[in-house]
């Protein structure tokens, strides 16, 4: 079997690379990819050795399925592969041995799952659901803790920052969880200001030098809305062009994960490296939109884009400012028809929002406690935190599993 496909970012589905030694397994992977409607699976002849060669030469896939039967010492062989595996990549090992010790060793190494042959589509699907994330590098419990929620607006002004701040406020103050709010619009972000906080230069410095990033450096950039709600934001001079790569996303999250339950990221609407990486790592990936036709088009495009980057995240579409006459609404039913998706949340337009939140410097659910908008944002927080679950332990309804195990990505 030669390489059957190239890894292309345009195709639907995550980048899957399978390095296999037998036809039966290859057929199972083909069936599995077809069942998931993934069109960019690459199936390559050979096991760990082939995987090594592929990872050295090509862009890393999101998911690697690797046959370990060709390795004399599979644990050692996968350990050697670890350096080539980026943190968000998941690894499912397959082989003929059905041996608990081997399984444990592989799990310890950070492999997402081990499947004894013959592998089946059902077993692969189970793996995908329960995958714990693997990079060959080993994920610690500490880094697995936080949920990462990314929000991007389909258009400017739809209320992404309002929703991000409101959600963070509800999780921190109503559910008593530790939250970090990150505004990645280093030039125009208004998240900090919306909470009456003044951004400093620390975030940009930290993001520009990810190798140096640690809790102390990031701690000095943190703004404190309260002990349980901390904010990272910037207000860089427009003349400057901060140089931020995807590595900054991994670095900032690895620090924040250590003591946060939730990391909520307000994403700017330009799709640069760090934004793409954040979406890839997100456990819940949201698009915020109004109900206009113009926003419908971009909601559709963004939702599809998000699913390619982060296929196993919980994807949500949040309509905001619903009922605002000036936004050119087409109505919920028509909007859902155009987009081909159901709205997960519909936050009504509250005419006093802008004035009340800006004059009090507080999040919407705090400023307009009894409003329907506050209730809807609160419902989102409850979905993420789990309704009657004590703090620190969230058992989410199965319908809404943002911490859905992170094959393909996360260390979250």
Ligand X SMILES: Nc1ncnc2c1ncn2[C@@H]1O[C@H](COP(=O)(O)OP(=O)(O)O)[C@@H](O)[C@H]1O
Size of the residue set binding ligand X (CB under 6 A)? 18
- Considering only residues 21, 54, 62, 161, which one is a binding residue for Mg ion as defined by CB under 5 A? 161
Scan residues 308-347 and list those touching ligand X (CB under 6 A). 320-321, 347
Residue 36 or 162: which CB sits closer to Mg ion? 162
Q: How far is the CB of 255 from Mg ion (least distance, A)?
A: 23
Scan residues 187-206 and list those touching ligand X (CB under 6 A). 190
φ, ψ dihedrals at 373, nearest 5°: -60, -45
| Cα–Cα distance, 47 to 386 (Å, whole number) | 41
Residue 36 or 357: which CB sits closer to ligand X? 357
308 contact, one of ligand X, Mg ion, none, CB 5-8 Å limit per kind: none
Nearest to 279 by CA among 241, 240, 242, 253: 253
| Cα–Cα distance, 408 to 29 (Å, whole number) | 16
Residues 116/119/125/126 CA torsion (nearest 10 deg):
-30
Chain residue whose CB lies nearest Mg ion: 161
- Considering only residues 162, 280, 292, 299, which one is a binding residue for ligand X as defined by CB under 6 A? 162
For residue 380, the Cα-to-chain-centroid distance in whole angstroms is: 16
Helices (H), 59-140: 74-81, 100-109, 121-130
Q: Lay out the site mask for ligand X across 137-156 (x = CB under 6 A, - = otherwise).
A: ----------------x--x
- Residue 28 contacts by C-beta under 8 Å, 6 or more apart in sequence? 118, 119, 120, 121, 124
Helices (H), 325-402: 332-339, 353-360, 364-367, 372-385
Scan residues 362-391 and list those touching ligand X (CB under 6 A). 373
**By CB under 6 A, residue 112 contacts ligand X:** no
| Cα–Cα distance, 299 to 407 (Å, whole number) | 25
**By CB under 6 A, residue 160 contacts ligand X:** yes
354 contact, one of Mg ion, ligand X, none, CB 5-8 Å limit per kind: ligand X
| Cα–Cα distance, 314 to 285 (Å, whole number) | 6
Q: How far is the CB of 333 from ligand X (least distance, A)?
A: 20
Q: What angle do CA 118, 120, 121 make, to 5 degrees?
A: 160
Q: How far is the CB of 190 from Mg ion (least distance, A)?
A: 6
- Considering only residues 114, 335, 349, 407, which one is a binding residue for ligand X as defined by CB under 6 A? 349
- Residue numbers at the binding site for Mg ion (CB under 5 A): 160-161
- Residue numbers at the binding site for ligand X (CB under 6 A): 153, 156-162, 190, 320-321, 347, 349-350, 353-354, 357, 373
């Amino acid at each position: 079997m030669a390489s059957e496909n190239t890894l292309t970012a345009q195709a639907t589905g995550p980048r899957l690379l399978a390095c296999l030694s037998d036809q039966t397994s290859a057929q199972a992977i083909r069936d599995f990819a077809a069942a998931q409607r993934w069109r960019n699976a690459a199936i390559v002849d050979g096991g760990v050795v082939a995987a090594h060669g592929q990872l050295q030469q090509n862009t890393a896939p999101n998911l690697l399925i690797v046959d370990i039967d060709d390795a004399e010492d599979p644990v050692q062989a996968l350990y050697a592969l670890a350096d080539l595996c980026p943190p968000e990549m998941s690894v499912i090992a397959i082989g003929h041995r059905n041996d608990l010790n081997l399984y444990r060793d592989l799990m310890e190494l950070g492999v997402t799952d081990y499947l004894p042959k013959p592998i089946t589509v059902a077993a692969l699907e189970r793996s995908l659901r329960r995958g714990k994330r693997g990079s060959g590098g080993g994920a610690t419990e500490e880094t697995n803790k936080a949920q990462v929620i990314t929000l991007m607006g389909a258009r400017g002004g739809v209320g992404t920052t309002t929703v991000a701040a409101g959600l963070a406020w509800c999780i921190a103050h109503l559910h008593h969880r530790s939250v970090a709010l990150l505004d990645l619009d280093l030039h125009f972000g208004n998240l900090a200001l919306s909470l009456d906080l003044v951004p400093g230069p620390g975030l940009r410095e930290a993001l520009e030098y990810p190798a140096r990033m640690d809790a102390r450096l990031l701690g000095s950039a943190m703004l404190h809305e309260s002990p349980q709600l901390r904010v990272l934001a910037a207000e860089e001079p427009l003349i400057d062009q901060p140089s931020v790569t995807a590595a900054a996303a991994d670095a900032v999250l690895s620090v924040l994960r250590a003591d946060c339950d939730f990391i909520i990221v307000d994403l700017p609407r330009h799709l640069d490296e760090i934004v793409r990486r954040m979406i890839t790592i997100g456990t819940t990936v949201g698009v915020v939109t109004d109900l206009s036709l113009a926003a419908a088009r971009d909601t559709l495009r963004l939702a599809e884009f998000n699913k390619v980057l982060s296929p196993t995240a919980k994807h949500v579409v949040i309509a905001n400012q619903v009922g605002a006459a000036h936004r050119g609404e087409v109505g919920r039913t028509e909007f859902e028809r155009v987009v081909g998706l159901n709205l997960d949340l519909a936050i009504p337009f509250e005419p006093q929002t802008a004035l009340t939140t800006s004059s009090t410097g507080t999040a919407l659910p705090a400023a307009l406690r009894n409003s329907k908008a506050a209730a809807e944002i609160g419902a989102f927080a409850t979905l993420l935190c789990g309704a009657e679950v004590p703090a620190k332990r969230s058992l989410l309804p199965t319908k809404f599993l943002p911490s859905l195990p992170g094959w393909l990505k996360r260390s979250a």
